Amino acid sequence: MVDLELDDGLAVLTINRPHARNAISLATMDELEKALDAAAGARALVITGAGDRAFVSGGDLKELAALRTEDDAAAMAWRMRGICDRIAGFPAPVIAALNGHALGGGAEVAVAADIRVAADDVSIGFNQVTLAIMPAWGGAERLAALVGRGRALMLAGTGAVLDATEAQRLGLVDRVLPRAAFAEGWRCLARSLATGPAAEVKRVMGGGASPDEAVRAFARLWAADAHWEAADRAMNRRSRR
């Protein structure tokens, strides 16, 4: 249901329910939590879906229809919000690789990531209003932070669904790739992040480090062998020109 691939510092988490358009059930939540536990220590994390129809189509309505009371609905929302918070708070960079449409709760999972890469034929939308509900997994707040309060209210309030190009124009998607180059493209980006100091950059950007800690992190990287090996290569290239 949720697959995890670990490869040399890169963790790829795949929601593997293509028969249900990768909708999130209560069991999927269990597996997401376990996969995030197992991905601890990765230098980059990718979240994607199986197939090419859906990234995540939201909650599994057939199963979640059994939740009829406010208390049950709140418990489910708090649980999945906690999972999205874990994604957002993952210490290393997180990429949402939008292999298919990201709708409703799927859009909320997407904006919990640091970076969104989309195939050029997918759509993304906070369309919970079509079910007379609203985003509850932290997506409304994250959407506002990405595109501004007015645009976020317009998008989530009307349920507008955007194609990948328009989503990129608004800042909701960071990179759009042709379908034929999609898998290679997101993997290349993820590996680049996993092999560099991107986790330290993320911590500084997120306010998780004081100015002193930020400078100390830079100094540790400066003094490390990897920096001097890279510097030597750069200086050698320049001397040959």
Mean pLDDT value across the chain: 95
Strands 54-56 and 101-103: parallel
In a domain, 110, yes or no: yes
- Considering the domain architecture, whether residues 113 and 228 belong to the same structural domain is answered as no
Mean pLDDT, range 135-145, rounded to an integer: 98
Q: How far apart are CA 105 and CA 131, in angstroms?
A: 12
SS3 of residue 51 by DSSP: coil
If we measure between CA atoms, which residue out of 43, 15, 40 comes closest to residue 191? Answer: 43
Buried b (16+ CB within 10 A) or exposed e, 70-97: eeeeeebbeebbebbeebeebbbbbbbb
- pLDDT (0 to 100) of residue 216: 87
- Considering the domain architecture, whether residues 113 and 161 belong to the same structural domain is answered as yes
- pLDDT (0 to 100) of residue 213: 87
For residue 15, list its beta bridge partners: 2, 49
For residue 100, pLDDT over 80 is answered with: yes
Strands 10-15 and 2-7: antiparallel
Instruction: Write down the number of H helices and E strands in the chain.
Output: 11, 10
Q: How many domains does the chain have?
A: 2
DSSP structure class, residue 206:
T
Query: Which tokens sit at 78?
Result: 């708090």
- Considering the domain architecture, whether residues 85 and 27 belong to the same structural domain is answered as yes
Inter-CA distances, 36 with 66, 109, 176, 189, 227, Å: 27, 13, 26, 20, 30
- Considering the domain architecture, whether residues 146 and 83 belong to the same structural domain is answered as yes
If we measure between CA atoms, which residue out of 102, 98, 94 comes closest to residue 118? Answer: 98
Q: What is the pLDDT of residues 176-232, one digit of tens each?
A: 999 999 999 999 999 999 998 999 999 999 887 888 888 888 898 898 888 998 888
Q: Which residue shows structure tokens 């879906």?
A: 49
In a domain, 200, yes or no: no
For residue 238, pLDDT over 90 is answered with: no
- Considering the domain architecture, whether residues 148 and 222 belong to the same structural domain is answered as no
In a domain, 203, yes or no: no
Residue 108 belongs to what domain range? 2-194
DSSP structure class, residue 172:
S
For residue 106, pLDDT over 70 is answered with: yes
- Listing DSSP states for 102-167 in one string gives EETHHHHHHHHSSEEEEETT-EEE--GGGGT----SSHHHHHHHHH-HHHHHHHHHHT-EEEHHHH
